[in-house]
Structure 1
Amino acid sequence: MPEGDTVYAAAARLRAGLAGRVLESSDFRIPSLATADLSGREVLAVRSVGKHLLIDVAESGPGVGDTLSIHSHLKMEGAWHVHPRGQRWRRPAYQARAVLRTADHEAVGFDLGVLELLADPDAALAYLGPDLLADDFDREEAIRRLGSDPDATIGAALLDQRLIAGIGNVFRSEICFLRRVLPTRPVGEVDLGPVVDLSRRLLWANRMRSARTTTGNTSPNARMWVYGRHGRLCRRCATPVKRGELESPGGERSVYWCPRCQV
């Protein structure tokens, strides 16, 4: 499930294969970009902003405009793969939404939930809260935004990308467990400083891992404290882990908690 750490790692892989190179061809397989052609443009940078991924390309002649960014969001099933040209794709071609080729590398975006060209990506994403993986992460602003609605549940607030960017459903449950707070507890009753610090620490620790873990154990059945462990015993107190639906940005989402460890 792509969260901020997953997108950060995807950006790093794309950066290694594309940054500083000229696109020999671009193939966007969605109707809105069917005629877009970025060939001849240099890839200036690849960066993540929360759960959003931006590939910045340079100005080059007439066509789609000046310097712009390829903006994508992985949603639930999306992925970017980058590999030497000529290597077999690891997913079926019908899932491809974008294909970018340089002289020696190929990047393919599969099942991207959002794909568009933006002339001013920073303005388009200005609504996002502080990015947990940004070098200039603003801790105090993140705390201020999270606390802006004291009646909201902490579980819903953590998923609201306008407040803090990068947390998804997995980290939401794990953060609440590690802070020993129920996801349904009102924000106004939660000490937000430690929540923000833990959130940044967890995403930072996982940003380049092949297997996400919040326990520190990378064994397949030992990576999470509560997420995905409904009915199994809490690793701390041996109480069965609960699962429920919590109203969150975008609709109800599953959340996991220990009814004994969290209050």
Structure 2
Amino acid sequence: MPEGDTVWRAARDLQAALAGAELTRTDFRVPRFATTDLSGRVVEGVASRGKHLLIRIAPGPGDDEGWTVHSHLKMEGLWHIYNRGERWRRPAFKARAVLETVSRQAVGFELGILRVLPRSGEDEAVGYLGPDLLGPDWDPAEALRRLEAVPERPVGLALLDQRNLAGIGNVYRCELCFLVGVHPLTPVRDVPDLPRLVDLSKRLLEANKSRSRRITTGLAGRDPLWVYNREKRGCLRCGTRVVHELVGDNELELRDLYYCPRCQPPPDLGEAASGAGTLEG
């Protein structure tokens, strides 16, 4: 499941393959940008912003400013890098973007969002995001302030909201709540040590950003996660059956939630599971 660490690696690999090279062909396979042609322009660089990916392209003849290819992987998306002429490892009908240079080819498959924006449009696309856990703008005090701004919101929903801190997805929110011993539906105001949770979020993503396999247990073998997707195997710490629920701010935003009822005893919630606000990706 793509989260901030996955997108960070994608940006790193695309940067190595494309930065400084001239595009010889571009192909955007979404109706709105199907006729957009950025060939002849140079890729200036690639950056991740939370779970968003920004490929920045220099101005070309007649352009007033540069361009940004903005993508979000959502649930199934990914970018592949190939040598020119190399066979794709995914079906061509799943490709949404193709960026070619003289020697390389970057292909975005099943991208949840794909847009080609003037450089000035970047802020509109990602400016709402909170501090990026893996970015140069990381600011733990600001992330803490944003989380605390809605104290009644369940912490498991607040962590997923990219307006608070950018880069946490479903796996990390479940594992983080487990690691600090907090039930994910605990209101933010009742989390015993919220600064520790923010600090652990940063450290966990940093530890995993260069790994091909996400690990939260310190065990690189068959048990890399404590509770996520372990409803049939039990909590890795105590063996208690892991609870799996669908929780969200509304019926359209339900997402998988995993927790250990023994290691993370539930608070007296009432209707707290409904949260406050909406999730932003």
Q: Please confirm whether the aligned pair reaches a TM-score higher than 0.5, indicating the same fold.
A: yes
Q: CA deviation at 1:135?
A: 2.6
* CA distance in 2: counterparts of 1:136 and 1:253, whole angstroms: 28
Q: CA deviation at 1:215?
A: 1.0
- For the residue of structure 2 that corresponds to 1:26, the secondary structure is strand
Output the TM-score relative to the length of structure 1.
0.96
* CA distance in 2: counterparts of 1:123 and 1:133, whole angstroms: 20
* CA distance in 2: counterparts of 1:204 and 1:122, whole angstroms: 25
Contact preservation (8 Å) 1:12, 1:46: yes
* CA distance in 2: counterparts of 1:239 and 1:71, whole angstroms: 43
Q: Cα deviation per residue 1:62-109 (whole Å; 9 max; x = unaligned)?
A: 36x620100000011100001211111010000001000001100000
Corresponding residue number in structure 2 for 1:112 = 111
Corresponding residue number in structure 2 for 1:210 = 212
Corresponding residue number in structure 2 for 1:223 = 224
State how 1:140-155 maps to structure 2 within 5 Å. 140-155=141-156
Alignment: residue pair count: 261
- For the residue of structure 1 that corresponds to 2:93, the secondary structure is helix
Corresponding residue number in structure 2 for 1:251 = 253
Poorly superposed stretches of 4+, deviation over 4 Å: none
State how 1:72-83 maps to structure 2 within 5 Å. 72-83=71-82
Corresponding residue number in structure 2 for 1:38 = 38
* CA distance in 2: counterparts of 1:218 and 1:75, whole angstroms: 26
* CA distance in 2: counterparts of 1:56 and 1:72, whole angstroms: 12
Corresponding residue number in structure 2 for 1:87 = 86
Structure 1 unaligned segments of length 5 or more: list them. none
Corresponding residue number in structure 2 for 1:136 = 137
Q: Cα deviation per residue 1:16-53 (whole Å; 9 max; x = unaligned)?
A: 10001110110111110111000011000100000000
**Cα RMSD for the two superposed structures:** 1.3
Q: Cα deviation per residue 1:205-226 (whole Å; 9 max; x = unaligned)?
A: 111111111112222x311100
* CA distance in 1: counterparts of 2:136 and 2:29, whole angstroms: 33
AA paired with 1:236?
R
- For the residue of structure 1 that corresponds to 2:172, the secondary structure is helix
* CA distance in 2: counterparts of 1:231 and 1:35, whole angstroms: 49
Q: Cα deviation per residue 1:114-159 (whole Å; 9 max; x = unaligned)?
A: 0001222134311101100013311100000011101000000000
* CA distance in 1: counterparts of 2:102 and 2:43, whole angstroms: 12
Q: CA deviation at 1:233?
A: 2.5
